[in-house]
Amino acid sequence: MNASVSIICYKQKTLSNGENPLMLRICKDGKRTYQSLGISISPQLWDFKKNEPKLKCPDRERIISIILKKKEAIQKKILEFNSEEKDYTVNSLLGEKQQNIRCSVEEYYLQLIRQYEETNNRGNRRVYKSSLNSLLSFSKNKLNITFQEINVNWLEKYEKWLRAKKNKETTISLLFRTLRSAYNKAIEDKCAKKAQYPFNEYKLSKFDVSTQKRAISKSDIMKIKNLDLTGQRFYIRFSRDMFIFSYLCSGINFTDISNLILENLSGNFLHYKRQKTGKNVKVSLLPDARNIIETYKNDSGYLFPILDRKIHETSTQKENRIHKVLGHVDRNLKKVAKLAQVDTTLTTYVARHSFATILKKSGVNIALIGEALGHSDIATTQIYLDSFDSEQVDEAMKNLL
């Protein structure tokens, strides 16, 4: 596969003079690498559609000359590799200089976030964005450091700071796993040295994230389902109904619920493609689940009044809206739990976990529902589920109520 070469004004990085650096961007085999040209420009003087300085830019000729020389040098290497039928990577195109790049942690994170945004990988973009925000807060916005400066002592201070902020063990674990992942990617891109890798000594296994139980009993599910919410605010009623709908539909998560449209209904079945994995899911639609759908009929283009096709057009708009509504739902589920006298921290994820646990206790084949549904090995659980036909799933669903 041939590489593509372009020059961009890197908006994610703003220098002290208010300008953005110009970056060489090389894409090949799904991998994207950036290298600074050593010059910057005011964003008002850059044409982002044409990726070149605007006509009014005072240094337009000089900048264009630098850009052309750099692009010609890279394109010449591409032709040489292709003519000799040699395999090559984005790093080999940049030559030995790439080996000595000292990417700052902040700059590298921004590159990763930009890549995930361009590939519409919203989940990873959000995870790395949250990690970056945490690191910036910890460093007091002084994250212009190299990965080599992140040693065991630095990590211990970061952990101590997170605990002082009363972060949960699961949150701390996720932040550290994301940082470790970024460090590993930086090593692959020659932005960090493997010899100074701190996670061989600083083990993330010490974070205990396995003790939190999220499933509730069938009797508690029934308390929530049968709760009379007449006269209660919309979000309390809506949150309860989304919880029960998730439980009755194989633990469907909130993002997938939000994206459901009329075409996802087929007779007595609900079928959809998971946003996270892209896998097709087919669920037997129980009468109570169908009643919930009927309750929230609307003209938004979706089954439930979460997204609106007239308003939420881009992936970012949809993601932000779902995140906002999910926050409202989870907060109101705590009120639902109190009204139902269920002693637990109720969230949408509890419905997903309860679906698996209750079926397991009902004697349903563990391979069907997955012993670890919603835990660390979700992918394996999905593989198990995919190996059974719909009749077995339908039979298992009868144990839910």
Please tell me the predicted confidence (pLDDT) of residue 334. Answer: 94
Residue whose entry in the numeric block shows the structure tokens 């563990």: 366
DSSP 146: B
Name 4's bridge partners. 27
Please tell me the predicted confidence (pLDDT) of residue 372. Answer: 31
Please tell me the predicted confidence (pLDDT) of residue 142. Answer: 85
Please tell me the predicted confidence (pLDDT) of residue 213. Answer: 56
Fold of 218-397: hpI Integrase; Chain A (1.10.443)
Q: Are the C-beta atoms of 145 and 102 separated by less than 8 Å?
A: no
**Which residues of the chain are modeled with pLDDT < 50?**
96-102, 211, 370-390, 392
How deeply is 290 buried, as exposed, middle or buried, from its count of CB atoms within 10 A (0-12, 13-18, 19+)?
A: middle
Domain locations in the chain? Answer: 4-98, 105-206, 218-397
Please tell me the predicted confidence (pLDDT) of residue 295. Answer: 94
Please tell me the predicted confidence (pLDDT) of residue 362. Answer: 66
Please tell me the predicted confidence (pLDDT) of residue 17. Answer: 73
Please tell me the predicted confidence (pLDDT) of residue 198. Answer: 94
Helix/strand/coil (H, E, C) string of 54-112?
A: CCCCCCHHHHHHHHHHHHHHHHHHHHHHHHCCCCCCHHHHHHHHHHHCCCEHHHHHHHH
Please tell me the predicted confidence (pLDDT) of residue 377. Answer: 47
For the entire predicted model, the pTM comes to 0.56
Please tell me the predicted confidence (pLDDT) of residue 289. Answer: 93
Please tell me the predicted confidence (pLDDT) of residue 382. Answer: 45
HSE, CB side, 13 Å, CA atoms: give it for residue 293.
21
Please tell me the predicted confidence (pLDDT) of residue 212. Answer: 54
